[in-house]
Structure 1
Amino acid sequence: MAITVKKTKHKILDMLLNHSDTHLSGQKICDVLGCSRTAVWKHIKELESEGFKIEAIQKRGYRLLSTPKELSEARILVGLKTKELGQHLIYFDSIGSTQKEAQHLAEDGAPHGTLVITSHQTTGRGRLGRIWSMPKGKGIAMSLILRPELSINRIPQLTLIAAVAVVKAITDVTGIQTDIKWPNDILVKGKKMVGILTEMQTEGTNVKAVIIGMGMNINADKNDFPEEIRSIATSLKTLTGKSHDMSLIVQTILFYFEDLYMRYLDEGFSVIKWMWESHAVSIGKRINARLFNGKVLTGLAKGIDEEGALLLEDDQGSIHKIYSADIEIK
């Protein structure tokens, strides 16, 4: 586990990224950061061990040639364009569940914006306790701790904000257009690529913390998925035939989430609602909604209301507000 603030290693990487077209001498780095050349060399070697390709030429210095596609704690932090989200980063090479770890950290007072992240989650879960399968090193599991001053009934809206942020980020980084399936799935061509799980900690009627978990299939090959889910799951690599920069995807999601979250706090849910509905795959289609009590409602998905509840019009013309259900598009 690595609990991260701005380290010397990250400052060196920042300098290399900003001077990628030229060499930086070890002495120049030392002068700027106030460290020894031996320390610089050690940090360069550590970055190389994390997958950064760095050219070192005697009397000229260091030049960054390429960054890893794999998830990198240093790469996430360097260039992260948020004020709070992800600035306190807790990175694991491997963990059972980022969501469980974030729950514990939130109970212990972790600050707003704390991010728990890994590319190898062994006991991940989604809604209703379902297992989330993620091949080692080829996906992203992350849990974001928020400290919102919101009423309990507004917390489900945060799931929808997260979904819009993910859709925008994936399009920005890859050009791929994705769909949202209410309430928490991101689909491409009908197959699931991202799942979102929102949980909260309360004290009476007060919300103490919200933990938004995201599981994302990024660089998995088709055969990496268990056979029983290959027909319903996909990844960016499966779709495009190439690997993608997972750290950049995380940076971009956090950037969009923070922007949308602040707009939501300032302007209300209406600014998010139309964006969510513009990507919703079920709007205008007939669906089955299986409720927790086993009852199944069938009808036309009309949209979402100002609380984020799904509006379903049944065959008798009655409108049902659905706050939690499994949705099947007919």
Structure 2
Amino acid sequence: MSGALGSPRLHRRTLGSTNARAQELAAAGAPHGTIVTAAEQTAGRGRQGRAWSTPAGTALAVSVVLRDPPPLVTLAAALAVADVAVALDADGRAPAIKWPNDVLLDGRKVSGILAEGRLQERWAVLGIGINVAVPAETFPPELRERATTLGREPGDVEEALALLLAALERWLEAPAPQLLEAYRARDALAGRTIAWEGGSGVADGIADDGRLRVRTDDGGERLLDAGEVHLGALPR
């Protein structure tokens, strides 16, 4: 996998899902680095089937076609979003990452990341949404304790896109040890008690293959895969 991200670009004023459109393009042979963006996304999806909406003109919604994506692609995406937050957060908050790819500011989620694709055909689509300029008061009541925004202006969405693509290029090309070291430095779960379907324990860092290492209540160790577990809420 090599090459710059961001060209060609398909942009729509309103789109149901940038990921769905990017998958169509990838299946039709779109080159590595193709992106789909939308000023408003009406049917976006997050991990585990959750909805991720993009209010018109105030959030970044982009999906990137990746050919031969690396194994740690979602961790790379989280680090790229964290770099954007460092550069643009109006309050200067330090980002942390709740495994596998929830980027948090003061314990609240500022972005959504979803990787989908056909690995047998050696491509994936990486969808990323960032609350760049979403007014905090417009979050639905059920999200106000769990979501946040960078607090920027609508005109900053394009800057966020440029920063994100540049950071994503760096992390996708980074050697795995360098990527894991940076990710572990932002690990929001380390040392915290967590629960998942069928068990509980204490988060004990990130394994070299990107799975979450957990010390179980019976003194053992378990490696959790992102596609198989539902983590309990992160204490604030």
Tell me the alpha carbon deviations over residues 217-264 of structure 1, each in whole angstroms, 9 at most, x when there is no partner.
Answer: 111112321222122111111xxxx5261111111111111112112x
Aligned to 2:114: 197
The CA deviation at 1:208 is 2.1
Aligned to 2:53: 133
**Residue 227 (structure 2) pairs with residue 317 (structure 1):** no
Using the alignment, how far apart are the partners of 1:177 and 1:99 within structure 2? 28
User: Which residue among 140, 145, 148 is the counterpart of 2:68?
Assistant: 148
Q: Tell me which of the two structures has the higher relative contact order, counting C-alpha pairs closer than 8 angstroms and 6 or more residues apart.
A: 2
Identity across the alignment (%): 33
User: Which residue among 133, 149, 153 is the counterpart of 1:243?
Assistant: 153
Tell me the alpha carbon deviations over residues 77-118 of structure 1, each in whole angstroms, 9 at most, x when there is no partner.
Answer: xxxxx9510121111111000000011001000000111111
SS at structure 2 position matched to 1:93: strand
Aligned to 1:109: 29
Using the alignment, how far apart are the partners of 1:134 and 1:253 within structure 2? 17
With 223-232 and 254-263 compared, the bigger mean Cα shift is at 223-232
**Residue 19 (structure 2) pairs with residue 99 (structure 1):** yes
Aligned to 1:13: none
The CA deviation at 1:123 is 0.6
Using the alignment, how far apart are the partners of 1:273 and 1:145 within structure 2? 23
**Residue 230 (structure 2) pairs with residue 326 (structure 1):** yes
Question: Is residue 7–residue 34 contact of structure 2 (8 Å, CA) maintained in 1?
Answer: yes
Is the radius of gyration larger for structure 1 or structure 2?
1
Normalization by structure 1: what TM-score? 0.66
SS at structure 1 position matched to 2:110: strand
Alignment-mate amino acid for residue 161 of structure 2: V
Alignment-mate amino acid for residue 191 of structure 1: R
Aligned to 1:275: 182
Tell me the alpha carbon deviations over residues 268-321 of structure 1, each in whole angstroms, 9 at most, x when there is no partner.
Answer: x2111110011111111111123xxxx2x2111111111100001112221111
The CA deviation at 1:194 is 0.4
Structure 1 alignment gaps of length 5 or more: 1-81
SS at structure 2 position matched to 1:100: helix
1:150-169 correspondence to structure 2 within 5 Å: 154=71, 157-169=72-84
**Residue 170 (structure 2) pairs with residue 259 (structure 1):** yes
The CA deviation at 1:185 is 0.8
Alignment-mate amino acid for residue 219 of structure 2: G
The CA deviation at 1:149 is 6.3
RMSD: 1.7
Report how many residues are paired.
228
Tell me the alpha carbon deviations over residues 27-76 of structure 1, each in whole angstroms, 9 at most, x when there is no partner.
Answer: xxxxxxxxxxxxxxxxxxxxxxxxxxxxxxxxxxxxxxxxxxxxxxxxxx
Question: Is residue 69–residue 124 contact of structure 2 (8 Å, CA) maintained in 1?
Answer: no
**Residue 41 (structure 2) pairs with residue 121 (structure 1):** yes
